[in-house]
Chain A
Amino acid sequence: MSKSLSTLITTLMIAGAGNSFAASSIDMSVRGLITPSACTPALGNGGQFEVGKIAAKDLKVNDYTVLADHTTHVSVTCEAPTLLAIEPKDNRAGSEAMGEPSYFGLGLINGSEKLGSLSVYLEKVFADGVASKATDSLDAGATWVRHSGLGPDRITSVASTAAYAPIPVQVMDAQMVLTPVIAATRDLTLTEEVPIDGSVTLTVRYL
């Protein structure tokens, strides 16, 4: 398990009622957290983004509709320079409508219709105050390529402008741009209100 942030509400595990058969026993818990080097991620606005209400008639019938971008801020602060990567997880896996492996889903209507996609991109990346670039790996960190966005199919780190290999960073911050896209409405049942329900969990992974 790693420290993670969700773009929606994170559920907390409430300490259980105990494993005791009866009142003649009491539970003891021993907790702690071994952290590789205590990097704490943070998302602007607590990771919640409200797209607002969109009338179905304002959406294209036979083509996808790109909604307005949402720009926010992501940062990772560590106790010491650390080689790290951001690993996203699509909590709406299987609902991505464009067939793009690097996009996230926006949920399903009636359990089967894919509402659309969410693309996420990092720009204006700074590593310890130095302008840098984001870099992506599609093979869990074996090789690094030019950054094209955060996706469920890759991990993203920070590199110098000169090369693609990740560099250790103590404070990383970047602008994060979210672009929701709705699928052609001819494929969707929009007779009732449909929630646009994207949920992505970003996890800091230590390289």
Chain B
Amino acid sequence: MGLKPALMSASLLLGANAWGMDECQLNLSETRVDFGLMNRAVAQGAAAERPLGERRLSLSLNCPNPTDLSLFYRGLASSGERFQFTQHGSYSLRASDALLDGQAVELGLLPGSGQPAASMGSTLRWRPEHGIVPMRAGVPVNGRSLSLQLEVDAWAREDALRVNDAVTWDTSGLFDATHTGRSRELRLQARFAPAACTPSLSNGGTVAFGKLSVMDLNLDKETTLPARPLVVSVACDAPSAFTLRLQDNRQGSATGPGDDTTYGLGLDAQQQKVGRYRLIFDPTRTTADSFPQLFRTDSPTGAAPWSSASASPMAIGASRFLGFSASAGSTSGPEPIQQLSATTSLEAVIAPLGTLDLGSEVRLDGAATLELNYL
């Protein structure tokens, strides 16, 4: 009867060891790191990449028994130092303030599982394909619990910010405590939106000629009405390169040899054309941000080649894209502008009265849409 109790206790001990490794816990204070919304503001400097910010989280790895607590981070490398955050960006991980079983320890950088530490320190840049391990006096140590602070920094390449649509970056990596069989995913996100520009017109966009007496209009030839000013404003939430076009909503009703820059004033009761108008932009009556002078440039496609930027007035059209530059003669196209104010001139011409049906009401009915396109 004396031998049996000893055997029982030995088997109990063995059971506890095997069970312990599965009971390690790997936790992150945040499993999702969001760098927020960037808009397409032009960079202040000439840097090729833009920092998206820094986020902090903490990691804890706890085991019931002292274990090899080395940790690897699995993520696509962008370089020797950083991880890929889509092809247009990158992020880095830094580990610091490591505590092993409640006591401060240094961290060693492992080129691979079981390999000797390549470098050591109380703060460590966590390189792709590398792991970290707690160390004391230059030697890796095991323990039951490891906690550390992680700093995640992200960057976006400048060209990534020039988006015409809203874009979300979403990537993940995996913290893998190889000896414990535990792992935890870290998800990283960043969002990009283009700057928004809002065009507006003075007087609610209405140029009202009021009532025009037949006595003041020519019978046998056209009558040119006095030009009216119209202020075209564009307000962007960040400097943006844009172009303007004007689309005729009274297509086909303009008198005279039609071209891209003439807009119709509607038809009378007998379907005769009432007249036409043009909207003339004058760079000398246009201001933008703090540019001392502005010049206008245009292109038939909204892309290069751009006409040589000029200070002479130009009528806006339906198909040519009109933009503004601060350099005379420049062929680089429109420059980023945050606030534009252009005093334009609306020149209207009425058809000869003899061609109109004056028996019914003859209305001037011009309607057009000013369209702003981003570059």
Contact = CB atoms under 8 A, between A and B. Distances in A.
Whether A and B touch directly in their complex, counting CB atoms under 8 A apart, is answered as yes
Contacts of A23: 213, 215-216
Contacts, number: 13
A161 B239 CA distance: 78
Interface residues of A, number: 4
Interface string A16-39: 000001111000000000000000
B225 interface: yes
B43 to A, nearest CB: 51
Nearest to A23: B215
A88 B213 CA distance: 52
A24 B226 CA distance: 14
- Chain A binding surface, main DSSP class: loop
Contacts of A22: 213, 215-217
A127 B185 CA distance: 112
Contacts of B216: 21-24
Nearest to A25: B216
Contacts of A24: 213, 215-216
Of A21, A22, A23, A24, chain B has the most CB atoms within 10 Å of the CB of A22
Contacts of B213: 22-24
A19 to B, nearest CB: 10
Contacts of B217: 22
A24 B214 CA distance: 10
B215 A21 contact: no
Nearest to B216: A22
B5 to A, nearest CB: 120
Contacts of A21: 216, 225-226
A24 B212 CA distance: 9
A23 B225 CA distance: 13
Nearest to A22: B216
B214 to A, nearest CB: 10
A22 B217 CA distance: 8
Interface string B261-286: 00000000000000000000000000
A22 B226 CA distance: 10
13 contacts: A21-B216, A21-B225, A21-B226, A22-B213, A22-B215, A22-B216, A22-B217, A23-B213, A23-B215, A23-B216, A24-B213, A24-B215, A24-B216
Q: Which 8 A-B pairs have the closest CB atoms?
A: A22-B216, A23-B215, A21-B226, A24-B216, A24-B213, A23-B216, A24-B215, A21-B216
Given A21-B226, A24-B216, 11 more contacts: A21-B216, A21-B225, A22-B213, A22-B215, A22-B216, A22-B217, A23-B213, A23-B215, A23-B216, A24-B213, A24-B215
